[in-house]
Amino acid sequence: MKRVFEYEFLGKKLVVETGELAKQASGAVLVRYEDTVILSTAVMSNNVSTADFFPLTILYQEKLYSVGKIPGGFIKREGRPTDSATLTARVIDRPIRPMFDENFRNEVQVVNTVLSVDNDYTPEMTALFGTSLALGISNIPFDGPVSGVIVGKIDGELKINPSVEEMERSTINLTVAGTKKAINMVEAGSKEVSEDEMLEALMFGHEYIKELCLIQEDIINEIGVPKIEVELAKLDENIVKEVEDDIKQDMLEAIQIKDKLEKYAKIDEVKERALTDYQEKHADSETLEEELKQVKKIADNIEGSEVRRLITQDKIRPDGRGMTEIRPLSTDKDLLPRTHGSALFTRGQTQALAITTLGALGENQILDGISVEETKRFMFHYNFPAFSVGETGRYGAPGRREIGHGALAERALLQVMPSEEDFPYTVRVVSEVLESNGSSSQASICAGCMSLMAAGVPIKAPVAGIAMGLITEDGTCDSNYTILTDIQGLEDHMGDMDFKVAGTREGITALQMDIKIKGINENVLREALAQAKVARFEILDVMEKEIAMPRKELSKYAPKIRMMMINPDKIKDVIGRGGEMITKIILESSNVKTVSDKDAVKIDITDDGKVVAYHTDDTILDKAMEMIESVVREVEIGKVYTGKVVNVEDFGCFVELWPGCEGLVHVSQLDVKRVEKPSDVVKVGDEIVVKATGYDKRGKLNLSRKEVLTSKKED
């Protein structure tokens, strides 16, 4: 039976419909937030997975019909998810996943189908609301609800779920999610705001998250079904004791080895010994294979619990650092002679090589998605090869993690990028992670920032990033906890929080928080932000010793630019019929045979008449701009010009005053005496002096040789 629940959220209509669509799913809701409509469905497998992790899949499926678009390309249907859809799926997954028991092993899939979109009413947070509610009303053991909002700061005022136009003026773009009790996911970009401003925005958002969670509880209480009992993965206490007695002391010693590869090798050796010892003792067991899986899990748990105990109780980190100590830092620049900018940033055993490439505005990225943004002129791409962690692995298209880390770095640096007017280039930065032991995304931000400055991109200020961690004693912030600066891989894997903060000396430019516990409170957020600020300044000190500000000159291999403004009415003349004129300008100025030649000048023309030309050779740029100036020159009526005859007809001849500007000398205007045939007076290639006399009804230029000759005779 169809049920409809109507609410008002911040003066806007929020409607939930159930019981009509997707009735065979474990839980399904159609959420209408004004004209944004999302169908969220949740399904749980009845079978217990043999995996040693919770198999949760969250999908966010953008349908271009939702914004009245037909997909591009030849196939004309939605293909692989856009980067935006992938990032949204991650944003939904991160606050949902901690709300399941860590021993849950039944596969759960949540599919959010985007049916209709008004971008002023966030489809992303509507999908998060639908995901939580679909799980909440189902029989799936989900410990929600969870909700999220977008927080902006427009003209000094905080606002929930701002419109697209408002967000363009906002100094904060914050996505925050959580439960009624605590925040459990943060994603933000901001224009160098202070830690206090960001904390205020976080807590402001949480107040409205509580309201959305209460709405969900109201619906769940009305139509929700009882949660089913599922088989949770559990360990045999006898096996736990046996393995702990066997390896606990050796594991503690292995964890405290400082070198990553040596540490991990020793940990693996201890774990392997646990398996071997157990197998030797219980070779006759009929369930040995299942028991060995438990041994492996127990060994992992010993590793994790010892890391947590060392940090929270003994205040000892696995590599011996203090709680706020950053690993050794080193930097370098200009490693790659032919690139437009390059820089290397190393923090302990994490190392990123970043390369900046400058291109014409026409080389920007075209986005085929549901957002209002159609192009992008600044791109940051992050690559994480298997060799960076000393392993073999899959190579191919970037995964969710690589897309997510690249987007975070892009958001952090976008806040300090120059405007298109000040720097009319498309800019691409690529981070190649060469070595990783935690926080490679933040190392990529540091390396990327230095490569931008080395390339001569006039960024507002240097940006550095740092990853903070949280280790709690019992999985809650109410107990004894420790906040760590610059977490390494083991602390990230075994800890409760990964809190990344990037910014300048003036303030925060990007923020991202993932947690494994159900939420964190204001005190932890405040402490982590303050600790991150100190670390950020320390890293900026090191970066600025290598390169303090953007270079004034671009690399000799980077394209130089020439700019000019022309009358928009003249754009068609510069382009020419079928692109004839612009092709001529490119070929002749560059001395190439095709416009696709790598040595051809690139010319971008915007609708407002801005012309930008790009090439590494100043001479070629000057020639191209001279040719364009010739095309757009305005003829002064009454002025005398020397032109070249380009065509002779029975009714007169056409004279080119300069490239792109031709006029007709009618047969009656060729001479002071009567002319029977124009070819008796002029031929193609002749240079003659003519006077501009005006335009005909069709806008064609009229010229006269007769008036020039008459004035000479009078003189």
Question: The domain spanning residue 36 has which CATH number?
Answer: 3.30.230.70
Helix (H) or strand (E) holding 443: helix 440-454
Closest CA to 433 of 399, 489, 387: 387
The pLDDT of 407-432, averaged and rounded, is 96
Buried b or exposed e, range 63-97, using 16+ CB within 10 angstroms = ebebbeeeeeeeeeebeebbbbbbbbbbbbbbbbb
Structural domain contains residue 701 = yes
Residue 210 sits in the same domain as residue 67: yes
Question: The domain spanning residue 275 has which CATH number?
Answer: 1.10.10.400
Closest CA to 693 of 627, 641, 625: 641
Q: What are 394-403's contacts with CB under 8 Å, separation 24+?
A: 397/80, 400/86, 400/89, 400/90, 403/83, 403/86, 403/87
pLDDT over 90 percentage in the chain? 70
Structural domain contains residue 132 = yes
Per residue in 161-176, pLDDT (tens digit) is 999 999 999 999 999 9
Confidence grade of residue 69 (pLDDT, cut at 50, 70, 90) = confident
Residue 147 sits in the same domain as residue 102: yes
Structural domain contains residue 318 = no
Structural domain contains residue 81 = yes
Residue 419 sits in the same domain as residue 358: yes
Confidence grade of residue 123 (pLDDT, cut at 50, 70, 90) = very high
Per residue in 548-558, pLDDT (tens digit) is 999 999 999 99
Which of 279-293, 442-456, 569-583 is most confident?
A: 442-456
Per residue in 76-110, pLDDT (tens digit) is 888 889 899 999 999 999 999 999 998 899 999 99
The CA angle 179-209-7, to the nearest 5 degrees, is 120
Burial class (CB in 10 A: 0-12, 13-18, 19+), 515: buried
Residue 300 sits in the same domain as residue 345: no
Q: Residue 655: its pLDDT value, please?
A: 96
Q: Residue 715: its pLDDT value, please?
A: 57
Question: The domain spanning residue 662 has which CATH number?
Answer: 2.40.50.140
Residue 621 sits in the same domain as residue 651: no
Among the candidates 249, 283, 312, a domain finishes at: 312
State the total domains in the chain.
5
pLDDT over 70 percentage in the chain? 99
Structural domain contains residue 229 = no
Q: Which domain holds residue 698?
A: 640-714
* Token pair belonging to 286: 């009929």
The pLDDT of 283-288, averaged and rounded, is 86
Per residue in 332-366, pLDDT (tens digit) is 999 999 999 999 999 999 999 999 999 988 888 87
The pLDDT of 217-231, averaged and rounded, is 94
Q: Residue 310: its pLDDT value, please?
A: 84
Q: Residue 493: its pLDDT value, please?
A: 84
Residue 21 sits in the same domain as residue 170: yes
Residue 444 sits in the same domain as residue 502: yes
Beta bridge partners of 638: none
Residue 537 sits in the same domain as residue 572: no
Q: Residue 480: its pLDDT value, please?
A: 79
Residue 259 sits in the same domain as residue 195: no
Q: For residue 620, what are the contacts with CB-CB under 8 A and spacing of at least 6?
A: 589, 590, 591, 601
Beta bridge partners of 7: 14
Distance CA 640, CA 690 (A): 6
Residue 690 has φ and ψ, to the nearest 5°, of -135, 165
Residue 397 sits in the same domain as residue 460: yes
Can you give the pTM of this predicted structure? 0.86
The pLDDT of 316-331, averaged and rounded, is 91
Confidence grade of residue 714 (pLDDT, cut at 50, 70, 90) = low
Structural domain contains residue 199 = yes
Per residue in 637-664, pLDDT (tens digit) is 999 999 999 999 999 999 999 877 899 9
Q: Residue 100: its pLDDT value, please?
A: 94
List helix spans (H) across 182-287: 195-223, 237-255, 260-281
Among the candidates 281, 312, 343, a domain finishes at: 312
* Token pair belonging to 127: 């999908």
Sign of dihedral through CA atoms 204, 210, 211, 212?
Answer: positive
Question: Peptide bond before 145: cis, by omega within 30 degrees of 0?
Answer: yes
Structural domain contains residue 289 = yes
Per residue in 125-152, pLDDT (tens digit) is 999 999 999 999 999 999 989 999 999 9
Structural domain contains residue 210 = yes
The pLDDT of 654-681, averaged and rounded, is 91
Three-state SS annotation for 105-134:
CEEEEEEEEEEECCCCCCHHHHHHHHHHHH
Residue 70 sits in the same domain as residue 174: yes
Question: The domain spanning residue 624 has which CATH number?
Answer: 3.30.1370.10
Is residue 476 scored above 80 in pLDDT?
A: no
List helix spans (H) across 123-194: 123-137, 164-168
DSSP assignment, residue 645?
E
Residue 504 sits in the same domain as residue 590: no
Among the candidates 609, 632, 655, a domain finishes at: 632
